[in-house]
Structure 1
Amino acid sequence: MNAAERLLADQGAQCLTLSAVAERAGVSKGGLLYHFSTKEALVRGMIERLIADFDELVASQDESSYSRAYLAATFVAVQSERLRRWAVVTGAAGDPALLAPLREAMARWHREGMDTEPDPMAARIVRLACEGLWDVTTHDPGLYDEAHYEELRQRLLALLAGP
């Protein structure tokens, strides 16, 4: 899956073939086919891993609310290779059926913990801002430096402080 992600990032979705992934991974095509019998199965696997990784990342944050954990996890994702995974899997899955688990996870991420937020609308705004940050930095990873990220993080945390 790492090789497929790198291939997508380097060459785009049109170059995602099982042969190209096997070559990039340094394995035989038969070895790859043992784990992923189709390109769709490979994309499905990348999406499932992405969801599990982000769920784990959110759960590992030591924060007082789901929105704060979501915000912290987003900044980890944006400032690491995890963001690339988000971008390439989304770009690779042109089939709406393949994106269904990601849509379901996104809906869950945006509903989670809303009933315990001091200001649910501010929590929604912060989570939407996180999505925007992912999208913008996908297209221009070098747009923000550490100081800008910290300023963004602080402003978004201030929104979560409540009315």
Structure 2
Amino acid sequence: MIDTKDRILDALELVLTESGPGAATLEAVAARAGVSKGGLLYHFGGKEALFNGLLDRLRDLGAQDAATHDDCDALTAYLATSSRAEDAYTRTLLATMRLIGTPGVDAENAIADSLDHWADVLAEHITDPMLLRLVMLVGDGLYLRALLGAQRRPLDDNLVSYVRGLAAR
């Protein structure tokens, strides 16, 4: 069974992605989570704490995503995860993106932190910092296209093969 804190964060994600941060009142999130406002405040002391709880979730999911890979081929795992857009991490990322510019909420750094977990993993296998940055930017671009629902193009597969070739040198 999902715990109350996670139900509240799930509800926040839904409210944010459907209606934006203006609609993410404590009352609306509590109602969506099926808890009282007092129950929400028990877990999150206020709206800023609630939003920061979502940022913590994003960072945790980013770390989990980077940790669940085959050590033998971290690059392939990274580029594969960069092409998917329907998982818990992505739902949390999209909700967090709606918080960009919200006072008291550092969504930008939480997003960067969550994406950078892969950089740490890949740095163990790719020693050239320029190549590592290139790989990360290719992954970011593939991920953005997946988030937008764009069809993966045959050239994308060629690019992944090319980058893997560069990393194998």
Give how far 1:21 is off.
Answer: 0.3
Indicate whether 1:27 and 2:35 are aligned.
yes
Which amino acid letter does the alignment assign opposite residue 156 of structure 1? V
* Residues 30 and 40 in structure 2, CA contact (< 8 A), matched pair in contact too: yes
- Structural RMSD (CA): 2.8
| 1:158 equivalent among 148, 157, 162 | 162
Indicate whether 1:129 and 2:138 are aligned.
yes
Which amino acid letter does the alignment assign opposite residue 110 of structure 1? A
Q: How does 1:38-49 map to 2 (within 5 A)?
A: 38-49=46-57
Q: How does 1:77-96 map to 2 (within 5 A)?
A: 78-94=85-101, 95=103
Give how far 1:24 is off.
Answer: 0.9
* Residues 26 and 37 in structure 2, CA contact (< 8 A), matched pair in contact too: yes
* Residues 69 and 77 in structure 2, CA contact (< 8 A), matched pair in contact too: yes
CA distance in 2, matches of 1:10, 1:93: 15
User: Unaligned regions of 5+ residues in structure 1, if any?
Assistant: none
Give how far 1:43 is off.
Answer: 1.4
TM-score where L is the length of structure 1: 0.76
* Residues 58 and 92 in structure 2, CA contact (< 8 A), matched pair in contact too: yes
CA distance in 1, matches of 2:11, 2:99: 13
CA distance in 2, matches of 1:129, 1:89: 22
CA distance in 2, matches of 1:135, 1:62: 23
Which amino acid letter does the alignment assign opposite residue 82 of structure 1? Y
User: Unaligned regions of 5+ residues in structure 2, if any?
Assistant: 1-8
Aligned length: 157
| 1:62 equivalent among 61, 66, 70 | 70
Which amino acid letter does the alignment assign opposite residue 156 of structure 2? L
Give how far 1:20 is off.
Answer: 0.7
TM-score where L is the length of structure 2: 0.74
Give how far 1:105 is off.
Answer: 4.5
CA distance in 1, matches of 2:89, 2:116: 20
Give how far 1:108 is off.
Answer: 5.2
